[in-house]
Structures are given as structure tokens and as C-alpha cells.
Structure 1
Amino acid sequence: MTDHPANEMALRAYGFDNLDLRWLRSKTGVKWGRIAPDVLPAWIADMDFPVAPPVLDALAATLSRGDLGYPAWSNWGGPDPLANDFTKRMELYHWAPQPDWVRSFSDIIQAIQIVIQTMTAPGDGVVIQTPSYPPFLKTVTMMGRRAITDPIERTEGGWSFDPQRLRRTIVEERPRVLIVVNPHNPTGRVFTRAELEELAEIAIANDMVVVSDEVLADLAFAPHRHIPIASLSPEIAARTITMTSATKAFNFAGLRCAVTHIGPAELREAIDAAPPDVFGVVNVLGIEATKAAWCDGDGWLAAVRDRLRQNRDMVCDSIVQRMPMITCDPPEANYLLWLDCGKLHKEDTAVFFREAARVELSTGKSFGPGCEDFVRLNFATSPNILTEILSRMAAAV
């Protein structure tokens, strides 16, 4: 995706630059609703910014016409309600998916659970690259599958995985599924074509199903560009379940709407043969918000990326200058910073910052083995609040 940086007037017009702390604390969602009144949240992956005007307009229009009845896509057959919108959106990434392979769900976690339930048996292995989004690890273990972790490690060139080690692990463990998160959460890496080709070759050679979480694609910073792994070849597309959503980049996670492009025919057939609504039905407002975001929201999105890029640079500069005992790499996408705090020698660094700085961060312990010294910082807020977060952290260390 090409970046078109927003000017300062656009940033102000969208309300990104000076958020009202009272407005934020009035929110009842998990980010602001589960913290003490004197704590500043920089943990769960919600942005603080107001919702895109085209999304708000679409929701208001739906409500004003009272269009909250049974949706036309529930039990009535026909194409998925987001099939054409998803296919059109993927043109940004030079990919032409199959519209009839598209199935919508309420959540990416739900979709992954459906894949694991359908395509694996208890005891089967699922490869997860760590650090990993914590619900993925929890899902695999709670469903009685073996979580086989393969670390993404910090190198001179940034965060990367070792394809030879991954090959050896797969030969030894014989897993059925490979979960890929690209752009990666929490390191912010945008995998290159060469890296994705390595993963595709490994999956094909070992007859594996690939689950590719690409929900952060729209938040890649230029010159980095997202490449859907299913776009590499028909062979990898036929074994890949691509998962995405507008809810992350456009900040409406509470509307619960995700889109999957399902390559394996047996999985599509199993989903279509299931009893009506056993997997739930995507809600009307989630569909309307997604359509509006993908059709009319790219101006807002460009301004968000511009604000996030500036915030990223502010955080990284502050850490270098004021907290040199903490190590970080500027993310190539998203609004999350993976901080190595090992030199602080804290049993749980997130607890330390909560107690000493009154800043809530995500603990690295939940991201997999070897992540105990890390915390994840969410910098998707306005500069005035981010400045206070960084000042508190710097004073604490």
C-alpha cells in the first residue's frame, strides 16, 4: 500500500493530536475500563482515536433507517456479505482472491478455533512463531493441541525467524498447522517476499495448512509493503486460510467482524455443511462498518498511519535518550512496540511500570517462552498523552 502522509491540518481535523483524557476515561471498554483512575493504559491493542467519519456515517444511516432486522446473509444462502468488498480490498496488495472462498466470522480468534477444530485432532501439533499474540497460544493449548513454538529473534537486521531451524522442528514434530502473523504482533515486522516464500515452501513440502493472520496489513509504514502469503502461488493459496478485518486498522474491534479466505476445499465444505448459525452470524453493524471503512476510509487511514509513524519515532527517541537500559526496534507496521527490559532485572516488568509509573503495559510473559523480560507498549494515542506515558516510565527507571 502506498503511503500518502496526512498534513497537520488533517491530523487535527480527525482529532488525533490532542485527545481529552476525560473523554477517554468515560469509555467502558477494556482498555480504559479495567484500570485504576490514575493509571494511563498502553496495553491492549485498541487505538484511542475517534472512529473514522465514513464508518460513523454508515452506522448512523443503518440506525436511522431501522435496518436492524435479520440480515439477508443469515440462512438464506448466496455469497458472503463481504466477499466482493474483500476481493476489491486485496487489489491494494496485488492479489486476486476467489470471492467464493470468502467466509465471514465474528472474530479472528473464532476463525482460528474453527480451523483447528476442523483440520486437526487432539494431540496434533500447531506451529506458532513466538512472541505470539497471547490468545493464539491459549487457543491451541485449551483445544488439546500441541503448541510448537518457533522463535522470531532479534538479529542485526531486525526481528526474523530461522527457516532451517523451522524445517528441523517440523520434521521432528510433524505438525498439521502453521500459524503466521504478518505484519507480526508484537515485533512489528513486515515479512519480505523472500521470507514468505520460505514459509510457503516449508508448508507445501510438509503438507501443512497455513493460517495467516494479516489483520495489521493496512498499518504497514512505507517503504514496507504487506504481501499476502496466498498471493505467492495457486499452490500455497489452496492450503492457506487468510484472515483479516477492518476492525484493527479502523478501530472498531467491538463490532466483531472478521473475514477469511479459505483455500482448503475440505474446510469450506465442512463450514458450509455445519448446522445453521453454529458458528454465529456476523452482525449487521460490523458488516456496514467494514464496507464503509474499506470503501471510503482510506483518507482517515492515511492520517492514522502518519500519526502512528510520528508517535513511533517519539517513543523510540525517548527510549534511546531517557531509558537507554531498554532496547527496542522501530516497528515496520502497527502501533505496538516490543521492549526488551531485561537490564531492569524485574520479575515482571509490566507490574513494575504499573506500580512505579502508573502506566499499564502488556506483560511479555503471556507471549510465549523466552519473553519474560519484555513488555508491549501501545502508542496509538495523542502526543499529549503519549508524552505523559513516556515521562512516567522514564522517571520510574
Structure 2
Amino acid sequence: MLKERGERLMTLEALDLATLSLRDGEKWASAPEGVLPAWVADMDFPVSPVIRRALVDRIDTDLGYPAWYDESHGGPLGEAFAERMLGRFGFTADPAHVRLFTDINQAMQIALHLGTSPGDPVALHAPVCPPFTETLTRLGRPPRPVPIRPRNGGWHLDLDLLADEIRGRGGTPCRALFLVNPHNPTGRVFRREELEELARLAAEHDLLVISDEVHAELAYEGHRHIPFAAISEEAAARTVTITSGSKAFNLAGARCAVAHIGVRRIREAVDAHRGLLFGQVSALGVDALRAAWTGGDAWLDAVRALLARNRRAVAEGLPEGVGYLPPEATYLAWLDCGALGLGDDPSAFFLERAKVMLFRGPDFGPEGRGFARLNFATSPAVLDELLTRMRTALPR
């Protein structure tokens, strides 16, 4: 096992620009020639060998209609999800509450569509990942963002401000709470006492809770993810937990996500609308995610070790004047460039002068002005080149 893990880590480290530039996914294909992309949340690492074998086996066996259309007992991933949650996080999930969707955004949309009404506000923490704001706006569920702010060397959750927002501040009270934990883009991992207070607020105001926990397996040493639904039976009964292999195993293109729907009325409504209305996940996506959760830990351990090193390298290699609080989870660095005088969108400067493509901070809302998000899930050599370009682009 140690030899296998070492070989996998060497493979992850060996990525070079010539190889990466041949990729045709969104991350690399959208970057102009000569530009290093570090924006969208895809890792550059090769797929886990376990997942590769599972996909080949599926192709060689049967790509016809799957036999698991009935998900009333958890479908093909219920047991795998429950075992994963118990083993990694101590959460006793009910396999029969699991339903499958193409990605976490679809799962969020359907939970809101079936669990709330048009005009119902939704509380969430800001900065907000752009697809979530867009989803809420299109569904007619007004977003009520509550800032996560830097304080005492870390990111601070203002629970009093959140409570005020949930109550409506003289307007319409919120009907749902959308959690992103670990948080994207700050990388903040919510503490148990914070989750307990959020559970109390949810019970007091009878909120539907949708908890996006897609970065849960990427918490760094000293930090532990706690599923919101694990706080209490009451919390679990009002929570839709959504996750996938898109971050920890880089499976965004596999189009398979899991929703653990603790809310009975939403679970029954989902089952009543199944079939072509919501679409269906692919057999390849199911097998990829099942392989990741049941046999991908050695690969994930190697990835986590490399990400921890890259996280430190970012702290050591950023240009002087860039504010950076190392994330407690994720492979995303939320960079405060306000002191550099680069305006609301510093990513534009680094794209033009450094040939480095970062995610635009303002796309995350007003709290993102002066910020940019950097994805450090790449080889150390590529990351070093990226940081060098950023440093040399700034006047000395």
C-alpha cells in the first residue's frame, strides 16, 4: 500500500504544461494560449486507477438501460453513501433517503422547487459561489447573503447577523437556509457549536436546510467536517444533504450527485416526479462514484498530501501585499488583493500581465470586490510557475 501510494503521488507531481495544455475540459480549453488557468474548481490530477477500472468494466459489461431506476430504497448508491458517511464522519445516514441527481446544482434546484414557494427568501453565507446566486434568482427565491468576515486570523461566522436575516429584518422571513460547508471560496470548516446554533435557528423558524458538503473530504489536518444532518435527529429531518465526487475525486464530468433527503415530504415529491422530468444519471457516473467511495482512498490520501504541500506553497509564494488565510478545507485560495490597488477585479490584472487566469472575485458578490480565487490543485511545478508569474507581474 505504501509503495502504491508513493507511485500515485509521483504521478500527481509529474504533470507538466505540455500534457495539461492538451486537455479539452472547461478549465484548460477556456484559457487563451500561453495562459495558466487556476480558476474553475477542477483538479489537474489524473483520475484514480480504481475509477478508471470501474469505467472500463462498465463499458465492457453493459451500457444498456440500467436496472436501478427505482430509487425508493436508495438506488445504486444508497448503501455506499451511508457507509462513507459513517466511516468518514460518524454520520448515520439512512440509505433509503438517498436520491441521485446529475450534480449538486440540480439537487439544490429541485429541493428548493419542491420544498419552498416562489418569493421565499433563502439565507446563505457570502461570498457566494456564482451558480448558487444564479439558481436562487432564476427560481424566484431571493438570496439573503450574510457575510463571512476575516477576524483574528480566520474567517468569522456572524450567527447573530444570520439570525436577523432569517427573521427578515422587518421584511419577509427566510424559509430556507443554504449551507456550503466547507465554505467555497473561503475554505472555512464550520465548528460543531456553530452547527448546533444553526440547527437551533432552523428549528425555531421551521427552515428547510440544504447543506452542500461537496468539499467535505478535503479538510486539512486540525479540521474535521461535521455533516449538518449529524447534529441531531431533528436537524436530519429538515435537511437535504448534497454531495458528489466532483471535488475530492475530480468527477464533475461524470454527472452524478447524491442527495440525502431527510425531509419526508420532499423525498416523496421527488419520487412522484421521477423519470424524464428531472432526467437520470448515467451508469458511468454511478459506477465512477461508487468506485471512488469504496476503493479510492489510497488515491485520495495522495491527493490530500499534495494539496497540503501546495497550500503551504501558496502562503510562501504569493506576491507581497496579497492577503491570504490558508483554507481549512478545499484546494481554493481566496486572495485579498485590495492593498495592491488593482481595483474591484484583480483577476483582470493577473490575466493581462501575468498570463494567469484566476476566478473573478466580484462574481462572488459585493464581498468579492478586490478578491480573486486561485485553484492550487495542480503539480508543484505548475503551481510554482503560476506564483512566479504573479509575483513578477507586479511592480517592485
The question of whether the paired residues in 2 share the 8 Å contact of 1:183 and 1:189 is answered with yes
Letter in 1 for 2:247: K
Letter in 2 for 1:74: Y
CA distance in 2, matches of 1:252, 1:113: 20
Aligned to 1:83: 78
Paired residue secondary structure (1:16): helix
The alignment status of 1:115 with 2:111, answered yes or no, reads yes
The question of whether the paired residues in 2 share the 8 Å contact of 1:11 and 1:17 is answered with no
The question of whether the paired residues in 1 share the 8 Å contact of 2:9 and 2:302 is answered with no
Residues 126-178 of structure 1 deviation map (CA, whole Å, 9 limit, x = unaligned): 11210111100110011122111111111104112111111111112411111
Residues 337-365 of structure 1 deviation map (CA, whole Å, 9 limit, x = unaligned): 00000112223211111001000000111
* Uncovered stretches (5+) of structure 2, i.e. residues with no partner: none
Letter in 1 for 2:177: L
CA distance in 1, matches of 2:252, 2:274: 27
Residues 46-69 of structure 1 deviation map (CA, whole Å, 9 limit, x = unaligned): 00000011000111111122x111
Paired residue secondary structure (2:267): helix
Matches within 5 A, 1:68-107: 68-74=63-69, 79-91=74-86, 92-107=88-103
Deviation at 1:90, TM superposition (A): 0.5
The question of whether the paired residues in 1 share the 8 Å contact of 2:37 and 2:357 is answered with yes
Aligned residues: 389
Deviation at 1:14, TM superposition (A): 5.2
CA distance in 1, matches of 2:216, 2:85: 10
Q: Name the TM-score, length of structure 1 as normaliser.
A: 0.95
Pick from 323, 334, 339 the counterpart of residue 335 of structure 2: 339
The alignment status of 1:327 with 2:323, answered yes or no, reads yes
Aligned to 1:169: 165
CA distance in 2, matches of 1:290, 1:157: 36
CA distance in 1, matches of 2:251, 2:226: 24
Paired residue secondary structure (1:207): coil
Deviation at 1:275, TM superposition (A): 4.9
* Uncovered stretches (5+) of structure 1, i.e. residues with no partner: none
The question of whether the paired residues in 2 share the 8 Å contact of 1:180 and 1:212 is answered with yes
The question of whether the paired residues in 2 share the 8 Å contact of 1:105 and 1:259 is answered with yes
The alignment status of 1:50 with 2:49, answered yes or no, reads no
The question of whether the paired residues in 1 share the 8 Å contact of 2:5 and 2:298 is answered with no
Instruction: Flag the 1:225–1:351 CA change in 2: closer, same or farther, 3 A.
Output: same
CA distance in 2, matches of 1:305, 1:209: 33
Q: Name the TM-score, length of structure 2 as normaliser.
A: 0.95
Instruction: Flag the 1:101–1:164 CA change in 2: closer, same or farther, 3 A.
Output: same
CA distance in 2, matches of 1:230, 1:95: 8
CA distance in 1, matches of 2:362, 2:71: 45
The question of whether the paired residues in 1 share the 8 Å contact of 2:44 and 2:377 is answered with yes
Aligned to 2:217: 218
CA distance in 1, matches of 2:284, 2:202: 36
Deviation at 1:276, TM superposition (A): 2.2
Matches within 5 A, 1:226-241: 226-241=225-240
The question of whether the paired residues in 1 share the 8 Å contact of 2:102 and 2:255 is answered with yes
Deviation at 1:370, TM superposition (A): 2.2
Aligned to 2:393: 396
Aligned to 1:368: 365
Sequence identity percentage: 48
CA distance in 2, matches of 1:189, 1:77: 34
State the Cα RMSD in Å. 1.7
